[in-house]
Amino acid sequence: MSPVYDCRDESQLLSGMRHARQAIGRGELVVLPTDTVYGIAADAFNARAVAGLLEAKGRGRQQPPPVLVPGVGTLRALVAEIPPAVDDLVREFWPGGLTIVLPAQPSLSWDLGDTHGTVAVRMPAQKMTLELLEETGPLAVSSANLTGRAAAVDIDSARDMLGDSVAVYLDAGVSETGIASTIIDATTLVGGAEPRIRVLREGAISRDRLRAVVGDLLEPDPVDDVADPLAAPSATTPDAEAPGP
């Protein structure tokens, strides 16, 4: 079985981080904690590794994974433009549970799947994972579960579902919130005729908190009192139809 490192133990943390870096470098998969749920990670610039991530979850190219980054500098390198409203959201909610979909930088040499020229980006509020991202660079990260099953909030659940398809498991205990990130689509803020921020999945950051930052740029609230946060959005939305990190 693939090794599990209890990263609450400093000696195991050092060993686990080293083996995780090495696994990512070899194009293998790693399960790691975030501030929302556990994620399964691959080198975002290794197409074979990203394909392996999708295969491990039982997903196709039409469901590309988001990308986790260590900071705003990396965000700027990955997207074509950061509109002022997105800059405001990043200052307010990063690191944290907000994933932002923007047009990708066209010069990037990567293949995350059928993204239609977009990328979903998040900076997690998890110190250990941020340290790993600083060393590995951007990671394609989806929730650590098989498609159709609940996202893992502890390492045992992730290991039961993903087994030896993952090379290294980093255990940081039960996830802090267990609530998936909120995903917003801000692509129309970049050259769109009708700029509007759409909520593709409701999660850790509420609509009210988003509206407090961007005002009327946020789409109106749904008419229904209870909206389905897992409803499938448009095909341009990476990883939005299921709970993700």
Which residues span the domain enclosing 91?
4-179
Q: Give the pLDDT band (50/70/90) at residue 229.
A: very low
Residue 150 lies in a domain: yes
pLDDT in tens, 80-121: 999 999 999 999 999 999 999 999 999 998 999 999 999 999
- Confidence class for position 234, pLDDT limits 50, 70, 90: very low
Confidence of residue 244 (pLDDT cuts 50, 70, 90): low
pLDDT in the model for residue 222: 86
Query: 188-193 long-range contacts, Cβ below 8 Å, gap at least 24?
Result: 189/83, 189/85, 189/86, 189/217, 190/80, 190/81, 190/83, 190/102, 190/103
The average confidence (pLDDT) of the chain is 91
Locate all alpha helices (DSSP H) within the chain, ordered by sequence: 10-25, 47-57, 72-78, 84-93, 127-136, 155-162, 207-214
Q: What is the pLDDT of residues 8-34, one digit of tens each?
A: 999 999 999 999 999 999 999 999 999
Give the model's confidence band at 181: pLDDT under 50 very low, under 70 low, under 90 confident, else very high.
Answer: very high
Judge whether 185 lies within some domain: no
Give mean pLDDT, residues 57-67. 94
Give the pLDDT of residue 94: 98
- In contact, 121 and 221? CB cutoff 8 Å: no
Mean pLDDT of 182-209: 95
- Quote the CA–CA distance of 89 and 186 in Å, as a whole number: 11
Residue 169: its H or E element: strand 168-171
73, part of any domain: yes
Is 203 a domain residue?
Answer: no
- In a domain, residue 229? The reply is no
- The pLDDT, as a whole number, for residue 53 is 98
Per-residue confidence (pLDDT) for residue 224, from 0 to 100: 61
Domain assignment present for 28: yes
- Residue 90: CATH number of its domain: 3.90.870.10
**What average pLDDT does range 33-47 have in this prediction?**
97
Q: What is the pTM of this model?
A: 0.91
Residues 6 or more apart in contact with residue 114 via CB below 8 angstroms:
61, 62, 64, 235
Number of domains in the chain: 1
Does residue 26 fall inside a structural domain? yes
The answer to the question of residue 86 being in a domain is: yes
Unique residue bearing structure tokens 């239609």: 116
